[in-house]
A and B are shown apart, each in its own frame.
Chain A
Amino acid sequence: MELGSHAGFIVAAYATAAIVIGALVAWVALDHRAQVRALAELEAKGGGRPGRPS
């Protein structure tokens, strides 16, 4: 596909979009894993949510 004389800029723009979106997805996914793990550890140690007798 011919992208013309400014192909570099077009590629850079789409690459940036991919990187930014990828970073957002990674952030959300990794944060999710971290929170779930933290909650599991705390529940195992007898944490539990408020209102539940420990």
Chain B
Amino acid sequence: MPIRDLANPHRFLALARALVPAFAILAALLLGLGLVLGFRAPADYQQGETVRIMYVHVPAAWIALGTWVLMAASALGTLVWRHPLADVSAKAAAPIGAAFCLLCLVTGALWGRPMWGAYWVWDARLTSVLVLFLLYLGVLALWRAIDDPDRAARAAAVLTLVGLVNIPIIKFSVDWWSTLHQPASVFRLGGSTIHPALLTPLLVMALGFAALFLALYLAAMRNEILRRRVRTAHILAAARAER
């Protein structure tokens, strides 16, 4: 089914009705499995038990970054192709991405306190992720500030694309600057440096988070489509009342 077919909100709603519960169940299973694997995995020889925070901190970070990229793709859909579902996609994804970004920052702080002795340091990785969170807040504020949904979508799209420059900065911050934060150990040329015993639970949790994101994202898109219908119905009712 080409994307163009999905442009029909009706078809999308039908698809969502099937997919949301499916992804939700998949997420529950994967997260459950991930938790079991994560707590049965050995402790890290350097970090001890606190390495288990990695199993929520890292997937949250991946979702936070991936969501912005998804929003940027939606932004292109809005600005270049005027795809109707692009607006809905961007608006639905933003709060979810912001929440996972916040989760990444908080779990990172809780991990940093025992490991580095500080809840927060101003190194390149942490600062650029904080900037990402501020950008999320900016986009959310923009959606609320502009009444007309189409105008809001376009404004948010421009901001999202401008903010996209932050994503590679986050990714490569640990390479370009000497940071307290650990350098890339999963997505790097030459393969991962994490021991398989710890890598497997991490990947399972990451897949679980991804399934959870998809369930939330599709459900939020469905809500947004319904919200637009309500808005249209209000406008029609008001017009009718005038006559």
Residues of A within 8 A of B (CB): 1-7, 9-10, 12-14, 16-17, 20-21, 23-25, 27-29, 31-32, 35-36, 38-39, 42-43, 45-50, 54
Contact = CB atoms under 8 A, between A and B. Distances in A.
A42 B49 contact: no
Contacts of B57: 13
A9 B110 contact: yes
The range of chain B's interface size is 35 or more
A40 to B, nearest CB: 10
Nearest to B59: A17
B130 interface: no
Contacts of A7: 49
Nearest to A14: B56
A2 B226 contact: no
A3 B49 contact: yes
Nearest to B60: A17
B127 interface: no
A48 B233 contact: yes
Given A13-B57, A47-B233, A21 B212 contact: yes
A32 B53 contact: no
B30 to A, nearest CB: 13
